[in-house]
């Protein structure tokens, strides 16, 4: 497998799916739709939907049921970036190499664009039920409809419900927002390991866990496989954030597409602050190797996810 080629292919698929699900019609709400589109079209690695799609495929998923959830997770991630960049939080003027939403559209419209993406994410995700209705429409209501087909439909509906529950919970107060709250309140404080881990597990890790769990659940993976995917996602999320800390210290603006040394500017304690760059690199590598070891238990079908794990930990932006 040519990893770079496969990653490009999956990323292009994600871009196409996102465009398909973004809102098109707008009247008096035209400006906020433009602000949503402006931020969503800024690119990025699309890591969360790629992880979701790859976990789905690894678990045996083969149809379009995953697609509205892929678009939804990226909408939620992007809304969080819009709000993170606001003056009240990180106060960043650039994201992904161009001006942030509040610089282009003003703070009020940026807040509304973030709110709109969060709400629209759930409008998008529930379209999975429409896909199920289309899939089973031909035989619905027929007297000779097989009991096996009916069981399959009910099972898939249950899986969509479980996926929606994860999509609702992981970005919330017991997930991403909970991590963000701790990050805001503890900024400027001397953090201990437990506090920093809580922030990383939730602020960064929650959406990565949501992505891989939803992929496995929608594909009908067994409970043991779901547990492994969650452990893999935890390790990836922690290592991803530690690598972010390292890049904030070592990369250039051109590489990152956003301001460097922003953690220092905002008086944030990071893994690098506590342990230094060398120890941080070792920890990211350790977490990555643990994730790869778990993925290896899935067999050769996990090759792409294994390569992706290494790519994320050693990325330069």
Place of tokens 């969080």: 80
Of the two residues 244 and 250, the one the predictor is more confident about is: 244
pLDDT band at 259 (very low <50, low <70, confident <90, very high): low
Query: Angle 147-169/205-218 helices, nearest 10 degrees?
Result: 180
- 181 contact partners, CB below 8 Å, separation of at least 6: 173
pLDDT at 96: 82
Q: Sort residue 124 into left (φ over 0), alpha (ψ -120 to 50) or beta.
A: alpha
pLDDT in tens, 138-188: 666 665 666 888 888 999 999 999 999 999 999 999 999 999 999 999 988
Per-residue pLDDT at 257 exceeds 70: no
Residue among 203, 161, 164 at smallest CA distance from 185: 203
pLDDT at 174: 97
Q: Return the half-sphere exposure (C-beta side, CA atoms, 13 A cut-off) of residue 164.
A: 16
DSSP string, 55-110: HHHHTT--SGGGHHHHHHHHHHHHHHHHHHTSTTTT--SEETTEE-HHHHH-HHHH
Joined tokens for residue 110: 């940026």
pLDDT in tens, 189-201: 888 999 999 999 9
Task: Find the helix or strand (DSSP H, E) in which 183 lies.
Answer: helix 176-186
95/90 Cα distance (integer angstroms): 11
Domains of the chain: 3-136+146-313 (1.10.600.10)
pTM: 0.93
- 22-31, 260-269, 276-285: least confident range: 260-269
Per-residue pLDDT at 289 exceeds 70: yes
Express as a percent the part of the chain with pLDDT over 70: 92
246/192 Cα distance (integer angstroms): 18
101/99 Cα distance (integer angstroms): 7
Q: What is the mean pLDDT of the chain?
A: 92
pLDDT in tens, 78-123: 999 999 999 999 899 998 889 999 999 999 999 999 999 999 999 9
pLDDT in tens, 122-147: 999 999 999 999 988 866 666 566 68
pLDDT at 146: 67
């Amino acid at each position: 497998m040519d990893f770079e080629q496969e990653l490009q292919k999956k990323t292009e698929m994600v871009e196409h799916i996102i465009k398909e699900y973004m809102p098109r019609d707008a009247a008096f709400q035209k400006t906020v739709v433009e602000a949503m589109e402006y931020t969503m079209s800024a690119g990025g690695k699309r890591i969360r939907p790629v992880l979701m799609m790859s976990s789905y495929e690894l678990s045996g998923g083969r149809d379009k049921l995953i697609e509205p959830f892929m678009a939804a997770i990226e909408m939620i991630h992007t809304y969080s970036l819009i709000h993170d960049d606001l003056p009240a939080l990180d106060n960043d003027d650039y994201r992904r190499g161009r001006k942030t939403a509040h610089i282009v559209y003003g703070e009020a419209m940026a807040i509304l664009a973030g709110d709109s993406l969060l709400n629209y994410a759930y409008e998008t995700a529930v379209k999975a039920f429409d896909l199920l209705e289309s899939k089973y429409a031909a035989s619905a209501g027929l007297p000779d409809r097989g009991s096996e087909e009916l069981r399959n439909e009910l099972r898939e509906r249950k899986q969509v419900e479980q996926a929606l529950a994860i999509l609702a919970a992981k970005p919330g107060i017991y997930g991403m927002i909970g991590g963000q709250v701790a990050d805001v309140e503890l900024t400027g404080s001397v953090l201990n390991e437990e506090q920093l881990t809580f922030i990383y597990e939730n602020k960064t890790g929650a959406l990565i866990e949501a992505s891989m769990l939803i992929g496995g659940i929608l594909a009908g993976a067994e409970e043991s496989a779901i547990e492994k995917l969650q452990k893999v996602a935890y390790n990836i999320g922690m290592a991803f954030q530690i690598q972010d800390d390292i890049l904030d210290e070592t990369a250039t603006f051109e590489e990152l597409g956003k301001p460097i040394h922003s953690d220092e500017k905002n008086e944030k304690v990071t893994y690098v602050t506590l342990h230094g760059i060398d120890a941080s690199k070792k920890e990211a590598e350790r977490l990555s190797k643990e994730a790869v070891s778990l993925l290896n238990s899935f067999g050769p079908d996990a090759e792409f996810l294994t390569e992706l794990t290494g790519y994320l930990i050693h990325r330069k932006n």
